[in-house]
Amino acid sequence: MLELRPNCECCNKDLPPDTADAMICSFECTFCRDCTETTLVGRCPNCGGELVARPIRPAEKLLKYPASNRRVVKQDGCVAAVA
Ligand SMILES: [Zn+2]
Ligand SMILES: [Zn+2]
């Protein structure tokens, strides 16, 4: 099950579980759409993998399966993955 992390690892912007602006890689590193499209150019800076839009969990399912509140932020900020 996806953690649905609460923020962007790059800029620490809040990414609530119902936002369409959250992007994740296969390891669920989580970024906002702005960072994904500008800084990261669609690649996860941690694993080099593809970043795709995070699916939105239906509100009634969030009651039983709540989103993570564990914030993950890259200490040194983000740079694009080395190709
Ligand atoms: Zn961001
Ligand atoms: Zn990753």
Return the bridge partners of 22, or none. Answer: 32
Q: Which long-range contacts (CB under 8 A, 24 or more apart) does 17-21 make?
A: 17/56, 17/57, 17/62, 17/67, 18/56, 18/59, 19/56, 20/53, 20/56
CA of 63 to the centre of ligand 1 (A): 26
Quick: pLDDT tens for 41-65. 999 999 999 999 999 999 999 999 9
Quick: pLDDT tens for 59-81. 999 999 999 999 999 988 888 77
CA of 68 to the centre of ligand 1 (A): 17
Task: Using a cut of 0.85, tell me whether the model's pTM lies above it.
Answer: yes
CA of 63 to the centre of ligand 2 (A): 27
